[in-house]
Amino acid sequence: MTDDGPDEAPVLTLTDKALAKVLELRRDEGKVAESLALWVEISGTVGDAYTYDMYFQAARDAGPDAWTGSQAGLTIVVPATSAPNMVGSVLDLNRDLLAGGMSIRNPNHPPVPRASPTMTGPPPDLSGDVAQRVIQVLDAQINPSIAAHGGRADLVAVQDGAAYLRLSGGCAGCGMAAVTLSQGIEVAIKQSVPEIVRIVDVTDHAAGTNPYYEPAKK
């Protein structure tokens, strides 16, 4: 698959700022820089959004069914397995400090998974003092910031100094992010709630034997 025709939406475009950043990063690759394309592919899901891998690789390695585009001399490649779920996406620089790096605005969303048959009974108790202080940090500091990307973070449980969070919506961080969303959240929570020593992302809570969270390792 090659560049889109006049009536077809591109799979991925870059804003001017993101394009400038990518070209700057590509120049750091040295003599082979001009032969490298920007490759972007879906790596998984977080809540109701996709996550991505981004890297430089020779444009000639693209398969016959891959989508390719071009901006300002930069070739963009999206493998065939990802292209249908990325039509209309835009790569941009993040506008808030918590997210950092780059993000992809994708109008497409992964299918909502069916609830696990093991998802029965009430969620873990969040009435404790530490849990309530973590929730306050999420509501007052984290969620207002990531709401700009349609994102949200919710506390699932607190156990043995670990805060188990579920992320949803918004722009998923990419492989080139200087500071990932989870790192930003972790810093904010640890500064305000010193009892928390680590953050565990349990976004894929429908998988595994426990539908809510995996207990911390002793």
Q: Are 78 and 12 in contact (CB under 8 A)?
A: yes
The domain containing residue 167 runs over which residues?
Answer: 129-201
Name the least confident of 79-88, 107-116, 148-157.
107-116
45 by DSSP, 3-state: which? strand
Q: Which residue has the higher pLDDT, 215 or 79?
A: 79
Q: What is the pLDDT of residues 16-56, one digit of tens each?
A: 999 999 999 999 988 899 999 999 999 887 767 888 889 99
Please write the tens of the pLDDT for every residue from 125-170: 677 889 999 999 988 888 787 666 566 788 888 888 888 887 765 4
209 pLDDT exceeds 60?
Answer: no
Q: Is the pTM of this model over 0.75?
A: no
Euclidean distance between CA atoms 75 and 55, whole angstroms: 12
Q: For residues 39 and 57, give the distance between their C-alpha atoms in angstroms, rounded to a whole number.
A: 7
User: Domain with 152 in it: what CATH number?
Assistant: 3.30.300.130
Q: Are residues 90 and 162 in the same domain?
A: no
> Do 136 and 98 share a structural domain?
no
Q: Can you give the pLDDT at residue 204?
A: 52
Residues 6 or more apart from 187 whose CB is under 8 A from it? none
